[in-house]
Amino acid sequence: MASDGGWITASQIPRDVVAGRYRITGRLGRGGMGTVWRATDELLDRQVAVKEMHLPEYGLSEHESSTQRDRALREARSVARIQHPHVVVVYDVVQQDGRPWIVMELVDGRSLAAVLSEDGPLPPREAARIGAAVAGALRAAHDREIQHRDVKPANVLIEQRTGRVVLTDFGIARIPGSATISETGAFVGSPEYTAPERMMPGGGSAGPESDLWSLGALLCAAVDGHSPFHRESIGEIVHAVAIDDIRPPSAVGALLPVVHGLLDRDPARRMAAAEAMTVLTAYAEYGIEPPTPQLVRRPEPDLGADPGADPGAAADVGGPAGRTPADRAGTPQLPTGGGPGPLATRRGRGRRRAGIAVLTVLAVAAGATAAVLVTRGSGGDPAAATTGAPVVRSTAPATTAGPAKPPASSAPHTAPVPAGSTRVEDPKGFSVVLPAGYVRDPEPPRTYYWSADRGFRFGEREQKPDPRGPYGVMHDQDVAGPSANGYKGYRDGVITRTTHRGQEAALWEFTYDGFPNKPGARRTFDLCWTQDGRMYDLWLSAPIARVEQARAIFDEAVASFRPHR
């Protein structure tokens, strides 16, 4: 959680220490569902955010109040299981003074709402970067049948040092098999960011698509300063959301196709989270403008169409128009561009890749064409992953993302070693740049290096080329899931077909539950490629909360890696 500047006097701070260990030191913010406090975890000596839940007590019997408290605790524990790089980390859920308290990571930064208020609207590409991260967080939540239901700028945090984007405040989330804490007869949420189906009678049962509408409104707010449904009264807001013509601000620019795809009043036609992540990532990192609205969105029903016509025929004319909602988790592709590393973005400032793709984009930039295939692990034939996806060509000029640059990894790394890092000469026959203090820990045929605090683990493996190629190797491990290398709790696996130093390569990203002696969700980045008759595999894993730092370390390691052959 981030500070909203609303500090209070010492006399207003709760005197008690929550759960015997979280000492309250100040207020970070207050919303309709609770107050968020800054606190010190005196057991682990770290700063945390503690949310004091405000539950509807007036007019409720003791039994009803107890039920509401138990429900809030159950929901918070469910949300804690998401464990995604762009979802706030939940450390603990406790009860005190008859109220639930949720203990979360303290994000050192500001909310998107504060950024817009203090600095003004964002450029479209920065808005796309933030939107892609939120879309990834929503996909992870929806995969676990959890709906956020309150996606808005105030609930999106941006870490000051790294630029990491974090979706927070699942206080009114919907959990499978449970009514939500807000279902007491009153609407809870932010009307300017609420999907029209949630405003209708029975709207409490609206599906996860409603979160994607909110993302569309958030993108508009990011580039224009406020939601396109901003009005003077609640009645006018509801009318704008449910009935008025939807007019996105001109500031959305190239993001217009995505906004149109998300702000569709028909939930069945609305762009899915993975699709939104695809085009937003491509634009944020490479300047590849999203395809025109008719390529992203399915057309209005043609009442005169032949009912026996092939529903997939529309894909033959260049778009996902003929796909059913179930097809929207299909085969994706993204451009590699000329970025400085497998994970880094050209825009600098520590901004890193946040995307997972779902449709095909063939990018033509500065006279060079490159393509990347990204697919969610499905257990299917990897050879089939290159077929059946619609092709969308970028119409953006080559100068959109700046002059083309060759990937830093396309040649041996010759740049000076950054301050705080060192070039390691491994006796196995390779060298690589890692932060100073990493300690070697070989486990043949793998070689590991651990950071001093045992938080980061770098790994290297060399073997004979596999006839399946790098993508096939990664695909088999993805299908194996938890049994692959002991990755307990394996999830969120994504494989990207790409190139490295001019050779076929595959990038595998995934989350798992960590090590038996060091529990806690971890994110792993793993690049595999074949070079000079050998297959190399480099990876780096780190705690979820340190994922942005891990991206930078991994990029440097990959770019600097030199086999001594």
What are the Cα distances from residue 220, in Å, to 111, 225, 256, 557?
16, 8, 9, 37
How many other C-beta atoms can be found within 10 angstroms of the C-beta atom of residue 179? 14
User: Residue 416's pLDDT is what?
Assistant: 82
> Cα 56 from chain centroid?
32
Sequence-ordered strand ranges (E) for 366-465: 368-370, 372-376, 391-393, 421-426, 430-435, 439-443, 446-450, 457-463
> Residue 342 above 70 pLDDT?
no
Per the prediction, the chain carries an average pLDDT of: 73
Q: How far apart are CA 158 and CA 301, in angstroms?
A: 40
The DSSP element (H or E) to which 257 belongs, if any, is helix 256-262
Per-position b or e across 379-388, b if 16+ CB within 10 A of its CB: eeebeebeee
Least confident range from 71-75, 182-186, 327-331, 411-415: namely 327-331
Instruction: Please tell me which residue, 561 or 565, carries the higher pLDDT value.
Output: 561
Q: How confident is the model at residue 89 (pLDDT cuts 50, 70, 90)?
A: confident
Cβ neighbours for 5, distance < 8 A, ≥ 6 positions apart: 114
User: Residue 498's pLDDT is what?
Assistant: 78
User: Residue 203's pLDDT is what?
Assistant: 56
CATH 1.10.510.10 in the chain is located at 109-298+327-393
When pLDDT is averaged across residues 99-117 and rounded to a whole number, the result is 89
Question: Among 150, 169, 537, 555, which one carries the catalytic annotation?
Answer: 150
User: Residue 168's pLDDT is what?
Assistant: 87
Least confident range from 138-147, 250-259, 460-469: namely 138-147
Helix (H, G, I), strand (E, B), or coil: what is residue 228?
coil
174-225 pLDDT per residue, tens: 544 433 334 444 445 688 999 999 888 765 568 899 999 999 999 999 999 9
Instruction: Please tell me which residue, 483 or 557, carries the higher pLDDT value.
Output: 557
How many other C-beta atoms can be found within 10 angstroms of the C-beta atom of residue 13? 16
Long-range contacts of 294-299 (CB under 8 A, 24+ apart): 294/319, 294/321, 295/257, 295/319, 295/320, 295/321, 295/390, 295/392, 296/257, 296/258, 296/260, 296/261, 296/271, 296/320, 297/260, 297/261, 297/264, 297/269, 297/271, 297/321, 298/269, 298/322, 298/323
**410-563 topology per CATH:** Protein Transport Mog1p; Chain A (3.40.1000)
Least confident range from 190-194, 396-400, 420-424, 484-488: namely 396-400
When pLDDT is averaged across residues 335-344 and rounded to a whole number, the result is 45
CATH 3.40.1000.10 in the chain is located at 410-563
Would you tell me which CATH number, out of the four given (1.10.510.10, 3.30.930.10, 3.40.640.10, 3.40.190.10), belongs to the domain 109-298+327-393? 1.10.510.10
Query: Annotated catalytic, 150?
Result: yes
238-252 pLDDT per residue, tens: 999 999 999 999 999
522-553 pLDDT per residue, tens: 889 999 999 989 999 999 999 987 887 888 89
Reported pTM: 0.60
Residue with tokens 């307990």: 488
* Omega before residue 299 within 30° of 0, cis: no
- Under CATH, to which class is 10-105 assigned? alpha beta
Task: Please give the backbone phi and psi of residue 408, each rounded to the nearest 5 degrees, phi first.
Answer: -60, -25
CATH 3.30.200.20 in the chain is located at 10-105
Task: For the chain, give the number of residues.
Answer: 565
The amino acid occupying position 204 is G
> Residue 362 above 80 pLDDT?
no
296-325 pLDDT per residue, tens: 443 333 333 333 333 222 222 223 223 223
Q: How confident is the model at residue 173 (pLDDT cuts 50, 70, 90)?
A: low
Tally helices (H) and strands (E) across the chain.
Answer: 11, 24
